[in-house]
Structure 1
């Protein structure tokens, strides 16, 4: 086995063993406009430009397939660790190898392999130094979003998309574009790459890579649905179609509130005005902050894993969205039913607990709101890794039958002098269900002084604090069943 083969084998092993990014994230003011992408393999380094652009850029370039690599593995996408849709498409011969590369400053960028269908374009890359060893650009220098560009072009050379994500392991990288975000789009014909910087090395790497989609387009089927249902909350849901491509089964859905529902939401918006640590966005929470849960059911009644439709594209500020959501392809010819079974919706909430930190650390403080139980378990000072400033760190348990998420801006902490502390980091973990059917969720949140733009140093814990919760996301049952057999 050559050195390159060993490097490839090590990369594939790491890909298979990597873990998913935690899903608990803080929304921005336009959180509903952002796209959360399904990770195409289990990598802790996956990033989306729309969510974390600083992580993504400055890492890439171009490529070609070496005979050694091709001899070692027919397709990198067939390896364990990639999602089943990519593996299946690669096994069926839908991936294309490339012999394109570009070299500058002793650095060669190689495009190894591409899978492209109407749902997504995924590209496998390698970066090599002049001695043939792999180069992994460093995270701190991967921030040049202006000069480093990767785009999909149509047959006329017009940009279809420059919204992409990347992950890097030691010996290679993977770019992913999600197609169809703007509705009907022309198919991509070219992957255009132009980089002025890789890691801390400046140079000029340009490459035009053909994107071939004839086979995958021919293998794609569209099931028109065009059915509408209105929930008891007044959310009008229209399922336009189901698209089956070699790599994915895609749901294309549109949602908007009825006029009667908007009147109720207007009252909820008034309750939230001026609240949370993001008061400008708070009045739009009732309109925009919602998700739909779903699963696929087999002909024998077997139930697949429940998931959340989360890739939303805003049509207006009042909760009118387009949604596209990709899963592994449904099995061809086998009857299946799409079941949209839950609405996850933000609502105003009123929970307030006053406590003394020194007493809390000796004995947890408990507050019950309806059937929901909140337990403040601990509070301490902890140094922030980025700013190296001391901040407060809290751990809170929530027992609830229907609270499914609490976003960071909804937690508000105040001391006796009126200083407000905002939650800037958080982690949510799920626990067991109690005898009353309430699920346990543990929140660990890091709080900083909001009177300072970049967060001030907290030198000691205040004598008295009040924790307030202004909104929560609750789950409501639905039962909309749509036959979606992949023919």
Structure 2
């Protein structure tokens, strides 16, 4: 299995169905078990948010009015900025120049106009903040930095010649993020590398009560020349009111870049200011799709670093009956009645998990119908092109019950500067059984491509490679780790099918192998007829020699339903 799949699994970037396959593979693969242990719970990077929300019509004038009463005590960051500062001030032009020359995001400035009750910081505070200057900061972080919700810390601890400094903290009712710097005895910065750090984090209130006793949910990641560690507070508190006025984050590293030691500090955080400006707009609208998926839009909470959209989804009675009828007919109700001897899902339980996994896609529109934000939970988001200003690091969900009830919290760059918005449902994604099968003679495949049409899909398999080493290698244009077989292919999926999974391979002797599809290097596009086309490769895990024949199959396909018609107007306080 490839390391990028393991990292995507640990980062919650895989669909639920694909995560199940990874878990099933890791249960039986000692190599991947060691890789997961090495990677730990650490993230390789924080997603970059590239989209910037559109400006309100009166943006420039309003910013100019705000700035007219503020001093500009900051020093120029380079010669280009110094030239700009020495010129006579034209406020309209100056607003645009500042955005370009100091990387002040539109989202951050728009919030400065909207959150009138906040204390406006000088531009120097924003420009100099690491949450603004480091590329990996999402739009919500930049917004919070612009509003003065970054606290300089500067606390440090030294052991074994390594100094750990907490540089800055960003906190509001949706999340806490801390930027760490680590240097050796010569003052050289230590780069973050997954697996080379060990330790734990705690979250307590003023009285010392442990608010996160499981100790989970902390994300570690490289952040420019620094390390960023963050925690989604929605996992702990279900409303801004329940967040204590004072929190303390404690950390205790026991290993840094392979050096064992003890680095401990407590970081107090004042939450009052961020809580005071938190706004929740109740919506409470419900819709039932033709497929029987019930969606309830509960509310939007806006805080300095994000707008958090809360939804609840479940299946109606008819869909639930149809689902259980299918489970009975296929014999997928094979859960053991006796206590399990080992923690492993049965084939039927795996299919149940696939089939009860479903996702949404929707847009947030302004009064003119422009998309200011979008969420798309299919794996290859470029297919629809609606994902915009989504902050995945604070998005989460949880499910319960036989009606497939799910609660969702989706984070976005703050919806500031707007009076009215519209929630528009775009798609519903449902996993369905598939029966694709292709029998391939490998000697023939090595001579010429083999095309197979089956169950509405068309696959052209082109090359077979046998990988005989455990190390990561690039073979046929695709990177893989571990021993196994690699088959390159091109495919066109059936109408409205956007993803396929639950791959298997069986040789002529009846041996069955676990199969994973490469995601990082695949090229997903829509053809002129709207059908999904892509190039990728299959990795056949554990295949040690080339068999005469392989039967390739997949058992699950993700169906995109566009026959939904639901728009919800949302009135905001400007």
Short-chain TM bin = 0.7 to 0.9
When structure 1 is superposed on structure 2, of 174-183 and 362-371 the one drifting more is 362-371
1:399 aligned residue (492, 513, 522): 492
- Aligned CA distance change for structure 1 residues 71 and 339 (closer, same or farther; 3 Å): closer
Q: 1:87 deviation in Å?
A: 0.9
Q: 1:424 deviation in Å?
A: 4.5
Aligned partners of 1:181 and 1:324 also within 8 Å: no
**Alignment partner of 1:27 is 2:26:** no
2:267 aligned residue (185, 209, 225): 209
The residue aligned with 1:235 is: 293
User: Once the two structures are superposed, what CA deviation does each residue of 1:142-197 show, in whole Å capped at 9, x if it has no partner?
Assistant: 3x4xxx11122233323333311111257310011112125526426111111222
User: Once the two structures are superposed, what CA deviation does each residue of 1:213-247 show, in whole Å capped at 9, x if it has no partner?
Assistant: 22222222101112221112212212211111111
**Aligned counterparts of 2:13 and 2:130: Cα–Cα separation in 1:** 27
**Aligned counterparts of 2:350 and 2:507: Cα–Cα separation in 1:** 22
Aligned partners of 1:29 and 1:278 also within 8 Å: no
**Aligned counterparts of 1:72 and 1:249: Cα–Cα separation in 2:** 20
The residue aligned with 2:146 is: 91
**Aligned counterparts of 1:124 and 1:93: Cα–Cα separation in 2:** 16
**Aligned counterparts of 2:218 and 2:256: Cα–Cα separation in 1:** 17
The residue aligned with 2:528 is: 435
Q: Which is greater in Rg? A: 2
Higher helix share: 2
The residue aligned with 1:198 is: 256
**Alignment partner of 1:444 is 2:499:** no
Q: 1:290 deviation in Å?
A: 0.9
Aligned partners of 1:286 and 1:345 also within 8 Å: no
The alignment partner of 1:359 has SS state of helix
Q: 1:343 deviation in Å?
A: 0.8
Alignment of 1:256-405 (within 5 A): 256-270=314-328, 271=330, 273=332, 279=347, 281-285=349-353, 287-304=355-372, 306-309=374-377, 311-316=396-401, 319-369=404-454, 371-382=456-467, 383-385=469-471, 389-400=482-493, 401-405=495-499
Q: 1:203 deviation in Å?
A: 1.6
Q: 1:137 deviation in Å?
A: 5.6
**Alignment partner of 1:475 is 2:573:** no
Aligned partners of 2:503 and 2:516 also within 8 Å: no
**Aligned counterparts of 2:555 and 2:331: Cα–Cα separation in 1:** 7
Q: 1:283 deviation in Å?
A: 3.2
RMSD of the TM alignment (CA)?
3.2
- Aligned residue-pair number: 425
With the length of structure 1 as denominator, give the TM-score of the two structures.
0.78
- Aligned CA distance change for structure 1 residues 342 and 58 (closer, same or farther; 3 Å): closer
1:78 aligned residue (129, 132, 143): 132
The residue aligned with 2:73 is: none
With the length of structure 2 as denominator, give the TM-score of the two structures.
0.67
The residue aligned with 1:35 is: none
Q: 1:272 deviation in Å?
A: 7.6
**Aligned counterparts of 1:326 and 1:272: Cα–Cα separation in 2:** 39
- Aligned CA distance change for structure 1 residues 302 and 57 (closer, same or farther; 3 Å): closer
Aligned partners of 1:393 and 1:444 also within 8 Å: yes
- Aligned CA distance change for structure 1 residues 266 and 274 (closer, same or farther; 3 Å): closer
Q: 1:362 deviation in Å?
A: 3.1
Alignment of 1:113-262 (within 5 A): 113-136=168-191, 138-142=193-197, 144=198, 148-161=199-212, 162=215, 163-169=217-223, 171-181=225-235, 184=238, 186-187=242-243, 189-262=247-320
**Aligned counterparts of 1:72 and 1:172: Cα–Cα separation in 2:** 18
User: Once the two structures are superposed, what CA deviation does each residue of 1:412-442 show, in whole Å capped at 9, x if it has no partner?
Assistant: 1101101111124632634443232212123
Q: 1:379 deviation in Å?
A: 2.3
**Aligned counterparts of 1:448 and 1:227: Cα–Cα separation in 2:** 47
**Alignment partner of 1:417 is 2:509:** yes
Q: 1:140 deviation in Å?
A: 4.2
**Aligned counterparts of 2:398 and 2:464: Cα–Cα separation in 1:** 38
Structure 1 unaligned spans of 5+: 1-20, 33-50, 60-68, 450-457
The alignment partner of 1:311 has SS state of strand
Q: 1:210 deviation in Å?
A: 1.0
The alignment partner of 1:358 has SS state of helix
- Aligned CA distance change for structure 1 residues 389 and 56 (closer, same or farther; 3 Å): closer
Q: 1:56 deviation in Å?
A: 4.9
User: Once the two structures are superposed, what CA deviation does each residue of 1:2-52 show, in whole Å capped at 9, x if it has no partner?
Assistant: xxxxxxxxxxxxxxxxxxx995567344999xxxxxxxxxxxxxxxxxx96
The alignment partner of 2:417 has SS state of coil
- Aligned CA distance change for structure 1 residues 300 and 139 (closer, same or farther; 3 Å): closer
When structure 1 is superposed on structure 2, of 363-372 and 121-130 the one drifting more is 363-372
**Aligned counterparts of 1:243 and 1:431: Cα–Cα separation in 2:** 34
Aligned partners of 1:250 and 1:325 also within 8 Å: yes
